[in-house]
Amino acid sequence: MQTEVFDVTPELASQWLTRNTNNRPLSKNTVQQLAGQIQRGEWQLTHQGIAFDEDDVLIDGQHRLAAIVRAGVTVPLTVTHGVPRTAFTVMDTGRKRTGRDALALAGEANATHLAAALRGLHLYLHAPNSAWSGASSVTSNDQLLVILDQHPGIRDSLNHGIALNRGCRITVTAATIGWYVTTTARPEIDQSSWLEGVVTGALLESGDPRLTLRNTMLGLAAGSAHRRRDDSREHLLYYLKSWNAWVEGRNVKLLRRSPNETMPRISRQSGVAQTVAKA
């Protein structure tokens, strides 16, 4: 076998794809994700590239080549010729490095929850009303690290998210994002009574938004197995609706999600129910 590094242009990638005569079906989602990484400048040269067999047939790297064509950008690739055709069965059988892995390698605690919260925060900020699933919701590992650098306060918010999850079964992702975006938008509000109320429900009367959120989350957790109990987008919508009512001093006795309902934005109003942090 012979391996070398090439600067692969979109034209060369397109030419090499014509040698892709016996490969697995091309995944459009994977191509889209890789093309996005290339366009954002996240592409890095590694030992993983493309490979041709003894007959110069492409047996590995079709998604990388298709992504180069789609992105329209030249990138460096490791190219290996003369790979035994029999090696095809063991290619790409290792576990892909996840966002959790990338954050853990960067020394972050609670990497699994942190990765999910960062993805959710990115979607809340940039696509709040889209479905939080499918190819359009994928966030690359490099993007997660950039988002964390831009929003370092999400680390502290994660601790509150975990506490809220333990108290009322809201997803850690939704609770973390909810805590982060409300404390960032309204730093003058002391949220200690919000946290205690949602977690414990102690001494709260019917209609108190904190108790309504708590009961709604516990009800979802104990609900039908046919309904998703861990829908972070739905949980965040309920969180923000309840928080807005709490900060405005309004009662809420029922939380529902209407068809095509948009994600609430943080209320700028002030009511009698909230406790204002002293300067």
- Examine the domain organization and report whether 141 and 267 are in the same domain: yes
CA dihedral 79, 39, 139, 46 (to 10 degrees): 20
- Examine the domain organization and report whether 63 and 150 are in the same domain: no
Task: Using the 3D structure, point to which of 41, 63, 90 is the last residue of a domain.
Answer: 90
pLDDT given at position 228? 55
Task: Using the 3D structure, point to which of 90, 117, 141 is the last residue of a domain.
Answer: 90
Residue span of the structural domain in which 158 resides: 99-276
Phi-psi region of 265 (alpha: psi -120 to 50; beta: other; left: phi over 0): beta
- Examine the domain organization and report whether 103 and 86 are in the same domain: no
- Examine the domain organization and report whether 125 and 236 are in the same domain: yes
pLDDT given at position 234? 93
pLDDT given at position 278? 40
Task: Using the 3D structure, point to which of 90, 110, 129 is the last residue of a domain.
Answer: 90
- Examine the domain organization and report whether 132 and 27 are in the same domain: no
> Which regions in the chain score pLDDT beneath 50?
225-226, 272-273, 275-279
In the block, tokens 């009574």 appear at: 193
In the block, tokens 């697995």 appear at: 24
- Examine the domain organization and report whether 24 and 115 are in the same domain: no
Amino acid present at 203: L
| CA separation, residue 22 to residues 32, 55, 56, 116, 244 (Å) | 22, 12, 12, 37, 57
- Examine the domain organization and report whether 128 and 197 are in the same domain: yes
Assessment of whether the complete model's pTM goes beyond 0.75: no
Give, rounded to a whole angstrom, the gap between the first and last alpha carbons of the chain.
69
Residue 83 backbone dihedrals phi, psi, to 5 degrees: -75, 130
pLDDT given at position 270? 81
- Examine the domain organization and report whether 149 and 71 are in the same domain: no
- Examine the domain organization and report whether 157 and 251 are in the same domain: yes
Provide the number of structural domains found in the chain. Answer: 2
| CA separation, residue 133 to residues 68, 127, 130 (Å) | 25, 11, 9
pLDDT given at position 89? 58
- Examine the domain organization and report whether 120 and 237 are in the same domain: yes
With beta carbons less than 8 A apart as the criterion, state whether 66 and 17 touch: yes
pLDDT given at position 200? 97
pLDDT, averaged across the chain: 89
CA distance 77 to 75: 6
- Examine the domain organization and report whether 185 and 137 are in the same domain: yes
- Examine the domain organization and report whether 229 and 140 are in the same domain: yes
With beta carbons less than 8 A apart as the criterion, state whether 49 and 7 touch: no
Element (H or E) spanning 248, and its range? Answer: helix 232-248
